[in-house]
């Protein structure tokens, strides 16, 4: 059962993908540390060992407003398990943030790296929405927030494949937003500019694939 933040006030339940670093980590920490305790946060990531970064941001301990949850957006079984874990609870906000980057001249990008990028950035978001959307539709309420990029609005040099994945995400979400309105489900695209993430930090160290999960 969800615990009230203040007398007579229920917490807003938020599930965020890709919380091991970057935007996901920062958002999960900010909501979990909310002074009014208005949020119940499920911070998900592929490797729960990386959850230590989030706990460090929160002072080394896990508050009762936060639960770390294993979730790999490329694995349907992992998504199904996460959805089952939340069964019976009201998920108010779903944040699809997990993503990978890939930089470099197009001719240097391997086919496998490009497939991995699309599997996470596009199909990962699709799988995640598919896993949690039925409950939102049944309740006729909810909000979905998807991490896009300015690279989904315009092409960026040496980011051709990454931008292509974000352009695809923009089209998916703009189309989906229309059909979700009658169900009182609101979809928001967040088109970020440059953000310091582990991927950006690793640009200082050559990576043969040039990608890392956020």
Q: Domain segments of the chain: what residues?
A: 12-201
| Beta strands 93-96; 142-147: pairing state | parallel
**99 CA to centre of own chain:** 7
Rounded Cα gap, residues 178 and 30, in angstroms: 30
Prediction pTM value? 0.87
Beta carbons of 12 and 208 less than 8 angstroms apart:
no
**Residue 120 DSSP code:** I
What is the residue-level pLDDT of the chain in tens, covering all 214 positions?
Answer: 444 445 546 899 999 999 999 999 999 999 999 999 999 999 999 999 999 999 999 998 889 999 999 999 999 999 999 999 998 889 999 999 999 999 999 999 999 999 999 999 999 999 999 999 999 999 999 999 999 999 989 999 999 999 999 999 999 999 999 999 999 999 999 998 766 655 444 443 333 333 333 3
| Active site residue ranges | 162
**Residue 86 DSSP code:** T
Rounded Cα gap, residues 132 and 42, in angstroms: 13
**12 CA to centre of own chain:** 17
Class of domain 12-201: alpha beta
The length of the chain is: 214
| Beta strands 12-16; 39-45: pairing state | parallel
Judged by phi (left if over 0) then psi (alpha if -120 to 50, else beta), residue 37 lies in: left
Q: Maximum CA pair distance of the chain?
A: 59
Rounded Cα gap, residues 212 and 117, in angstroms: 9
Query: H-helix or E-strand containing 7?
Result: none
């Amino acid at each position: 059962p969800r615990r009230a933040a203040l007398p007579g006030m229920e917490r807003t339940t938020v599930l965020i993908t890709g919380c091991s670093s970057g935007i996901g980590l920062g958002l999960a920490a900010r909501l979990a540390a909310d002074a009014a305790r208005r949020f119940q946060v499920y911070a998900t990531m592929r490797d729960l060992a990386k959850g230590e970064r989030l706990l460090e941001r929160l002072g080394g301990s896990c508050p009762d407003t936060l639960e770390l949850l294993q979730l790999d957006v490329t694995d349907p079984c992992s998504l199904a398990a996460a959805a089952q874990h939340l069964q019976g609870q009201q998920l108010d906000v779903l944040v699809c943030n997990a993503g990978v980057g890939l930089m470099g001249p197009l001719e240097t990008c391997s086919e496998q790296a490009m497939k991995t990028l699309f599997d996470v950035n596009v199909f990962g978001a699709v799988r995640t929405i598919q896993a949690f959307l039925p409950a939102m539709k049944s309740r006729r309420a909810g909000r979905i927030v998807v991490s896009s990029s300015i690279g989904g609005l315009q092409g960026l040099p040496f980011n051709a494949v990454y931008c292509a994945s974000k352009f695809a995400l923009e089209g998916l979400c703009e189309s989906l937003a229309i059909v979700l309105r009658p169900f009182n489900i609101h979809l928001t695209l967040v088109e970020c500019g440059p953000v310091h993430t582990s991927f950006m930090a690793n640009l200082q160290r050559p990576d043969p694939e040039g990608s890392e999960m956020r």
